[in-house]
Amino acid sequence: MYQGYFHFKEPPFNQTPDPQFFFSTPVHQKVLDAVNQAVERGGGFVIVIGEVGTGKTTLGRYILQKVGASLPVSLVLNPVLPPAELMQTIAEDFSGGEVPIGLLAAPAAAELLVRMPKGGILIIDEAHNLPRSSFDALLEWAALVDQGGGHLTVILLAQPEISSLLDNPLVKERLPASTVRVPLVSLSSAETRAYVGERLRRAGGGNAGPVFTDGGLDAVHRYSRGIPRLVNTVCDKALLAAYVKESWSVDKEHVKLAVEEIEGPSLREERRGRKFIRGVGAAGALSVIVVFAAFLAYQTSRQIAPEGAPDSAAGKRPAVHSRAGVPDEDGVVRASTPEESAAAAAYTLAALWKRTPEDPAAFSKSLGGQPDFAAAAHRLGLEASAVRLSRTAILKGPHPIIVSLLGEPDVITTVRILEERLGKGAADPALLARARTRYAVLAEVHGTNAVVLDPLVGRTSIPVLVLLDRVTGEGTVWSQPPGGKGPAPRLVQERG
């Protein structure tokens, strides 16, 4: 939609953390300097504390991108884990393979730590969610690594509530004396202006792009209070408002429309006592909503489409159920609803193994309700095993893996906006389905992108870091039983 109008090569204000759009301020530079100093002196803790939306995750991804090629890195996105599982996740990231939990218990842990790579960097996002027992285990483990000459640098990205834990005297005395704590503050007015300009420049590939007027930028900063996530939201919708009005510049009136759209009717009536989007009217407001919803749906399909793939692979073909478990030309057995996705994912994986169930009814029955992928595998003469969906497992396999995917974030936002503005049932059923959790097959990984065979969308390519945010629970891998024969699984249609 507005991306073509303004000649953007990619969305300038996408909410997905993207290190390519990292914007450095003196505070960010302080964090980067602290990380470099910790690495140089042989490890330590760098704790970044900021409110929601201040850019902690993007900063973490930027650090990962910068150091990942030269130093061993472990990235923990969901730290709500008991101590043993947290240590297992970290150890597997560093070792590049599976590490049984038993090896993490003393005295075996000491031997394992000796084999860990030197100079590693551990990044824990949402660190305020660490259980106290897991935080204590992390401190103990980091101390053991340092005693063994491992030189571990730990970067914690957390919301302010972690301060009560860090200020606990028992925790304080166990943290290294070199620990650096950096508050990630909001952008100043000047920084907000520079931030907006830089994102526009990068999205336009260096072209001038649309112009935010001084009044428009002042309004963006005033509403967002310099919080990057809110800046992105306001600017995204202000660009849409400018597009609808066929304006090349974005002024304070466009920003005002964006803010009113964000606040919603109840808050707006309470604060200002006037009707929805003054000057545009109900018809104009509805058009903005519809265009915005269409734009988000378009962006979602664009972001997940593999480069060079035909339209059918990008999810533009209607998501109709495949004929009796038969995969489409991209190797995906399609489904119409999340409830059908378990069976569709199992049939997709069966097709990769070139297996056909002798009793389709029994095969499908095992996948209804709470799906039993192990029983389905046995009906194909295969074995099944559970896989913890760590970064290592996703990157290195074994593939393919049946995974449970959370709904697509942009689609969830679209559905919410439609239902807030137009009432329940306003969203198309196909869109509603994509906003819900469903099963899919992680087929393989190429570099930093994962090929996912999604029954609701089709064959897609998703950045691994984005996929890590969407997988939930454990995955399931099928394998040949001892002495079994047959072809190894492979994609039905190879891609260049």
User: Could you read off the pLDDT of 192-216 as tens digits, one per residue?
Assistant: 999 999 999 988 855 556 789 999 9
- E strand or H helix at 104: none
Domain boundaries, position 108: 26-183
Asked if residue 156 and residue 49 are part of one domain, the reply reads yes
Domain endpoint, select from 143, 163, 183: 183
User: What local confidence, expressed as pLDDT, does residue 272 receive?
Assistant: 47
Domain assignment present for residue 485? The answer is no
Domain assignment present for residue 9? The answer is no
pLDDT tier at 176, thresholds 50, 70, 90: confident
> Residues near 390 by Cβ (< 8 Å), separated by ≥ 6?
89, 92, 93
| Across 6-10, average pLDDT | 86
| Across 291-299, average pLDDT | 42
Higher pLDDT, 80 or 483: 80
User: What local confidence, expressed as pLDDT, does residue 205 receive?
Assistant: 57
User: What local confidence, expressed as pLDDT, does residue 266 receive?
Assistant: 41
CATH of the domain at 269: 1.10.8.60
Cα separation, 95 vs 122, whole angstroms:
13
Share the mean pLDDT of the chain: 78
pLDDT tier at 6, thresholds 50, 70, 90: confident
User: Could you read off the pLDDT of 309-348 as tens digits, one per residue?
Assistant: 333 333 333 333 344 578 888 889 998 888 999 999 999 9
Asked if residue 244 and residue 139 are part of one domain, the reply reads no
CATH of the domain at 346: 3.90.70.10
pLDDT tier at 430, thresholds 50, 70, 90: confident
Cα separation, 102 vs 104, whole angstroms:
5
User: Could you read off the pLDDT of 92-133 as tens digits, one per residue?
Assistant: 788 776 666 655 555 555 555 555 667 789 999 999 999 999
- Which of the residue ranges 26-30, 230-234, 392-396, 437-441 would you say has the lowest mean pLDDT? 392-396
Domain assignment present for residue 308? The answer is no
Whether the Cβ atoms of residue 379 and residue 465 lie closer than 8 Å to each other:
no
Asked if residue 173 and residue 44 are part of one domain, the reply reads yes
Domain assignment present for residue 8? The answer is no
Domain assignment present for residue 132? The answer is yes
Asked if residue 131 and residue 272 are part of one domain, the reply reads no
Total domain count for the chain? 3
Asked if residue 132 and residue 150 are part of one domain, the reply reads yes
Higher pLDDT, 296 or 90: 90
Query: How deeply is 48 buried, as exposed, middle or buried, from its count of CB atoms within 10 A (0-12, 13-18, 19+)?
Result: buried
Other C-beta atoms closer than 10 Å to the C-beta of 339 total 13
In the chain, the N- to C-terminal Cα span, in Å, equals 29
Domain assignment present for residue 337? The answer is yes
Asked if residue 275 and residue 222 are part of one domain, the reply reads yes
pLDDT at residue 464 greater than cutoff 50: yes
Asked if residue 134 and residue 42 are part of one domain, the reply reads yes
Domain endpoint, select from 140, 155, 183: 183
Place of tokens 């734009």: 295
Domain assignment present for residue 266? The answer is yes
CATH of the domain at 149: 3.40.50.300
User: What local confidence, expressed as pLDDT, does residue 206 receive?
Assistant: 53
Measure CA 85 to chain center: 21
Coil, strand or helix: which one is 154? strand
- Which of the residue ranges 22-36, 81-95, 253-267, 385-399 would you say has the lowest mean pLDDT? 253-267
User: What local confidence, expressed as pLDDT, does residue 298 receive?
Assistant: 39
The answer to whether the predicted template modeling score (pTM) of the entire model surpasses 0.75 is no
Cα separation, 251 vs 173, whole angstroms:
53
- E strand or H helix at 155: strand 153-158
Asked if residue 457 and residue 414 are part of one domain, the reply reads yes
Domain assignment present for residue 494? The answer is no
Asked if residue 345 and residue 214 are part of one domain, the reply reads no
Asked if residue 139 and residue 192 are part of one domain, the reply reads no
pLDDT at residue 408 greater than cutoff 90: no
pLDDT at residue 256 greater than cutoff 70: yes
Domain endpoint, select from 127, 152, 183: 183
User: What local confidence, expressed as pLDDT, does residue 161 receive?
Assistant: 92
Asked if residue 467 and residue 323 are part of one domain, the reply reads yes
Asked if residue 150 and residue 131 are part of one domain, the reply reads yes
